[in-house]
Amino acid sequence: PESDPLDEETPPGELTARRLRPLSADAFARLDDAVVTRFLRRYDFPKSLKAAALKRDVKAGKITIADLIAYLSDANRDLFERQIEGSEIYRTDDGGATWARTHRGRLEKIYYSYGYYFGRISVDPTDADRIYFGGVPMLGSSDGGKTWNGLDQRGVHVDHHVLFVDPRAPQRLALGNDGGLNLSFDRGQTWTKVNNLPVGQFTTLALDDAKPYNIVGGLQDNGVMRGPSTFVPGKSDPSAWKSIYGSSTPATSSAIPRA
């Protein structure tokens, strides 16, 4: 089956529920028995069901691809395995009586799995046609949502939760995301990271056997950091804490709608 970028935990060439959907009966019958066997075990099909026999039944029409998909139907699983269709922005100019989509096609690469809870639209209070849309990347439009441009710059974290547009000086923006706070003074063309806010969220901590011991912690969406247990806030050198693994980098989006 064709590799699907959303199946991040399953190697290309393996079969998943999402990769099963577009297959024809002939394509399924040509799959390697080992691939089908791993698929059957992964999705808890009856152990009596064997790959070779299943492939024969599918090719003969005794079992259809739709039958296999129906067997897999599960509300929780479907939530995560549905293909993401993209985002759409709608606008009303009559208080919600009618709505119209602002752009052609769909906005791609705003979300990569189920609809995130933090997708918000902000409007410049001095210009109804200047709109900001925050998802995984941050997008901006100056023509009422007809066209969109990516506003993510180097140093701007992904996953945008809230945007404040200064009503007295709308070129000034304050952006809150999973990496903290960014400020812009030119409508998002450039950003400054506010690095003096203690907003990192540690979800797991571990200690090593050094003397004095070090503390290792995993942060929500910000990788893993390590620092000395002797660290004293306000007195020790902040650079003593170092990133040792991972972190989210800015997402990129062409903001080109898919027809």
List the chain domain ranges: 17-81, 109-199, 202-243
Cβ–Cβ < 8 Å for 250, 154 = yes
**Residue 53 region by backbone torsions, left for phi larger than 0, else alpha for psi between -120 and 50, else beta:** alpha
Give the count of beta carbons closer than 10 Å to the beta carbon of residue 41: 10
Q: List the strands of the sheet with 192-194, edge to edge.
A: 160-165, 173-177, 180-184, 192-194
In the chain, the amino acid numbered 27 is A
Cα-flanking dihedrals φ and ψ of residue 165, to 5°? -105, 120
Q: How far is CA 172 from CA 126, 163, 176, 184, 242, in A?
A: 12, 10, 14, 6, 32
Distance CA 107, CA 139 (A): 10
Per DSSP, the three-state class of 150 is strand
The rounded distance, in Å, linking the Cα atoms of 152 and 188 is 8
Q: Residue 6 has what pLDDT?
A: 43
pLDDT at 198: 80
Which amino acid is it at 160?
H
Residue 194 corresponds to which amino acid?
V
DSSP designation for 82: S
What's the pLDDT score for residue 254?
A: 39
- How do the pLDDT tens digits run along the chain, 259 residues long? 344 444 556 777 888 888 898 999 999 999 999 999 999 998 889 889 999 999 999 999 999 999 998 887 766 666 666 667 778 999 999 999 999 999 998 888 887 765 566 788 999 999 999 999 998 899 999 999 999 999 988 779 988 999 999 999 999 999 999 889 999 999 999 999 998 888 888 999 999 999 999 999 999 888 899 999 999 988 999 899 999 987 554 444 433 333 3
The length of the chain, given as a count of residues: 259
CATH fold group of domain 109-199: N-terminal domain of TfIIb (2.20.25)
